[in-house]
Structure 1
Amino acid sequence: MSQTMYKKLSQSLQLRQETVLVTITECLEHRLIGKKILLWPSKSAFDEGEIPLSLMESINLYSQPLLKKKRSGVFQFSWKGNQVECFAEYFPAPVHLIVAGAGHVGEPVASIGKMLGFYVTVIDDRPDYANLERFPIADEVICESFMHYFRDVPLTDHTYILLLTRGHKYDVLSLQELLRRKEKAAYIGMIGSRRRISGVFEQVKQEFPDETFDHIYTPVGLDIGAETPSEIAVSIMAEILKIKNGASGNSLSSKIRRYAKMGFHEGAVK
C-alpha cells in the first residue's frame, strides 16, 4: 500500500468511518493487478488515479454488499469482456467512547476504555484537567465547553457517551444538546445521586416534555458494590459492554450452577 493510500485509510478510521480497501487480484490488463481503491458506505471512492472510471464504478457496485454485511471477502465480475477478481478488506468504524468530565472517575474509565479497544475522547472545559498529562492514553483530549462539543460531535450507533461532569448544570446542558440532535448515540450514561439525577431530568423535561429518558442509563454502571473510582470505572465499562454486545449482564455461573445441581450430563440432555 502506498503512503498516500495508507494516510487516507488512517484518516478515515480516525474520523470513525467504516471503510473497505479493495485490491484487484486478477485482471487481463496486468497493469491493474495490485491496484487499490478505498470505498465507503456513501459510495464515495478514492484511488490514486490509475483505475479507469468505469472499472471503479463496477468495483464500487460489487463491494457494497460486503460493506452492508460488514465483512471482508472476494468478488468477481466482468468488465469490458475481462474477468476481474478483487479482494475487499473491511475496516469497521472504531467504537467511540466519549468521557465528558476529566475528574477522578474519568481517568480509570478512559484507561479501561482504551484497553477494551474503544477510541477514547475526553472532554472538559478546564485546562488543568483536560490535558494529555492527565490522560496520556486517550486518543483525544479536548478542552471545550460541553455544550459546544455535543452540538457538533458526530453521533452514530458506535458512539458511547458518559456524563461524568462536576455538576448537574453541565449534565443539563449536555443532555439538552444531545436530545436536540437527530442522530442518536448507542448509549448515554450519567453518573450521580438520585437527587442530582432527579434535578437534571426536572430541568430537561421543561424543554422536552414528552421525553421518557428510558435510553439514558443513570445511575450509571452495574450493581457490583463499587466504591473507589477504579471500581466505579469497572462497573461503568461492564454496563457499556453489556449494551454493546447485547448481553444479559448476569453471572455466567448461574446457568452452570443449575446444571451442576442436577448433574452436567443430565442437564445438558434436558
Structure 2
Amino acid sequence: MDIKIMAALRNVSKPAALVSITWVRGSTPCKPGSKMLVLADGTTLGSIGGGYGEAKVVRYALMAISSRTSCKYKVNMGLNSEDEEQVMGCGIMEVLIEVISEKSSKLLQAYIQNVEEGVKPVLITVVNTPEHALNTLGDKLMMTIDGKTEGALPVPKLELLARFAAKNYWLGNKFKSIRINLSGQVINQASDISNFEWEVMIEPPPDRSELIILGGGHVALAVAKLATALDFRLVVIDDRPDYANKERFSMVDNVICAEFTKGLSSLNLGADSYVIIATRGHHFDKECFRQVISYPLAYLGIVASPGRAQTFLHECLDEGYPLELLEKVHSPIGLDLGAETLDEIALSIMSEIMKVRRGSTGFSLSQKRKQVSPKKTNLEFSV
C-alpha cells in the first residue's frame, strides 16, 4: 500500500472508498494490489492507471460511498471515451471498491501501525464471494510474521489456506499480490475469474525502503527532491548545521545534524536500506564507507568521478576489503543517461536505485521488445 494512502487513511474522517486492483488480464498500467483512495467529495489519492477507466471507477466509488455498499467492477482499459472507442494493446482489470466502515477502518489502522513499527504484516482481503455472501466482500485478515492475526475471513477453510499462503511471503521473499480460491488454486492473469466462488487477495508487506543520503550538499538536495515521490523514507546526515536542517530538507523525514559515524549509529541499517555516500570529501567518504559496508544493505552507492571511484576502490582493496564485497558498491553512481545538470544527475542516481529496488534490467523498453521474437511483418522501424 502506498505510503501516502496509508497516511491519508490514518486521518480520514469523511466517508471514503478504498479501490484495489484485484485481477488483470493483458496490458494494464497498474498491477494487482495497486490502490486508490476516493473521498466523498471526489478527491482521489493514488492511481489505478488514469484515463477514462479510472474516471469511471471514481464514479462507481462515489455511488458505493453514497449507498454504503462495497462492490466489484471490471474495467476495460482499452476504452477511452463514453463512446467506448477501443485503444489497441490495453487490457482488462477487476477492482474492489471497498467502502471504509468502522470495522475495516479499525483493522486498517492496526495494519498501518504494524507497518510503521516495521512488523511487515500481510493483508488478506475477500475479493470474490458467492451471491449469498456479498456482504462479506472486502472482509480482511491481517497476519504478522509471528503468526498473530487481526480480523477474520468468513470461511474457515479459506482462512486456513490464506494463512498458509501468507507464510510463503516471508519464506520466499515475494513481492507480488496473489489471488487464491477455496481450492487453494492461484488465480493468474490468464485465468477467468468466477463470480460464484470464494477468493481472497493476499498482499505482501508494503515496501518501507529507507534512503539514507550521507552529505547535505547540492547533489543530496536534488536526489532528496526526486526521491520523495518514490515512496522512500528519507534520511539525510551532515555535520554542518547550514546543510543539515529542516528548512533546507523540508521534504525529508529525518534530518540528522551530527558527525557521520554518530548519525549512522542512530539508524537501524539492513536489507531495506539504500545508502548514498555524497559527502564533501574523500576522508568523509571513507569514514562513511567503513561504517556501512558490513551491513547487508539493499544498495550502496558513492558519488565520484570514474577516476576517483577507481582510486577509492583500489584503496579499499589495499586495506583488505574482499573484491566480491567491493563489486557490490555502485561507484561511479547512477545509470549512464549522459547527465550534466544536478537534476539530471539525481535522475541517473534514482534510476539505478529503482533498477535495484525492482530487480529490473534498466534496459529501454523498446530494447526489451526487440529481444522478443516478433511475428514476421513487412513493417520496418527506424531507430
- Alpha-carbon distance in 1 for matches of 2:161, 2:365: 49
Would you say how many aligned residue pairs link Structure 1 and Structure 2?
A: 249
Structure 2 residue 245 is matched with structure 1 residue 131: yes
- Alpha-carbon distance in 1 for matches of 2:329, 2:312: 12
Tell me the residue number matched to 1:118. Answer: 232
Question: Cα gap change, 1:21/1:192 in structure 2, threshold over 3 Å: closer, same or farther?
Answer: same
- Alpha-carbon distance in 2 for matches of 1:218, 1:133: 30
Tell me the residue number matched to 1:162. Answer: 276
1:10 Cα deviation after fit: 2.2
Instruction: Select the structure with the greater relative contact order (CA < 8 A; seq sep ≥ 6).
Output: 1
Tell me the residue number matched to 2:143. Answer: 39
Paired residues of 2:142 and 2:151 also in contact (CA < 8 A): no
Structure 2 residue 323 is matched with structure 1 residue 208: no
Q: Which amino acid aligns with 2:269?
A: P
Paired residues of 1:22 and 1:87 also in contact (CA < 8 A): yes
Write out aligned runs for 1:111-260 (5 A): 111-151=225-265, 152-156=267-271, 158-181=272-295, 184-194=296-306, 196-212=308-324, 213-245=326-358, 246-250=360-364, 252=366
- Alpha-carbon distance in 1 for matches of 2:362, 2:110: 39
Q: Which amino acid aligns with 1:10?
A: I
TM-superposition CA deviations, 1:86-122 (whole Å, max 9, x none): 5534442233322221111111111111223333322
Hey, which of these two has a bigger chunk of helix by percent? 1
Write out aligned runs for 1:43-122 (5 A): 43-47=146-150, 60-65=163-168, 68=172, 69=174, 70-76=176-182, 87-122=201-236
1:6 Cα deviation after fit: 3.4
1:174 Cα deviation after fit: 1.9
- Alpha-carbon distance in 2 for matches of 1:225, 1:177: 31
- Alpha-carbon distance in 2 for matches of 1:204, 1:243: 23
Tell me the residue number matched to 2:115. Answer: 13
TM-superposition CA deviations, 1:232-269 (whole Å, max 9, x none): 1122122223333422445847987xxxxxx963569x
Q: Which amino acid aligns with 1:64?
A: K
The TM-score, its normalising length taken from structure 1, stands at: 0.70
Q: Where does the alignment leave 5 or more consecutive residues of structure 1 unmatched?
A: 50-54, 78-83, 257-262
Paired residues of 1:37 and 1:45 also in contact (CA < 8 A): no
Question: Cα gap change, 1:66/1:243 in structure 2, threshold over 3 Å: closer, same or farther?
Answer: closer
Paired residues of 1:221 and 1:235 also in contact (CA < 8 A): yes
Q: Which amino acid aligns with 2:279?
A: T
Question: Cα gap change, 1:264/1:20 in structure 2, threshold over 3 Å: closer, same or farther?
Answer: same
Question: Cα gap change, 1:169/1:9 in structure 2, threshold over 3 Å: closer, same or farther?
Answer: farther
Question: Cα gap change, 1:72/1:120 in structure 2, threshold over 3 Å: closer, same or farther?
Answer: farther
- Alpha-carbon distance in 2 for matches of 1:173, 1:15: 30
Q: Which moved more, 1:222-231 or 1:172-181?
A: 222-231
Question: Cα gap change, 1:162/1:265 in structure 2, threshold over 3 Å: closer, same or farther?
Answer: farther
- Alpha-carbon distance in 2 for matches of 1:140, 1:39: 29
Tell me the residue number matched to 2:82. Answer: none
Structure 2 counterpart SS, 1:147: helix
Q: Where does the alignment leave 5 or more consecutive residues of structure 2 unmatched?
A: 1-102, 153-157, 184-197, 371-375
Q: CA RMSD in A?
A: 4.2
Question: Cα gap change, 1:72/1:134 in structure 2, threshold over 3 Å: closer, same or farther?
Answer: farther
Q: Which amino acid aligns with 2:327?
A: D
Identity of aligned pairs, percent?
29
- Alpha-carbon distance in 1 for matches of 2:260, 2:369: 43
Q: Which amino acid aligns with 2:148?
A: A
1:162 Cα deviation after fit: 1.2
Q: Which amino acid aligns with 1:222?
A: L
Paired residues of 2:260 and 2:288 also in contact (CA < 8 A): yes
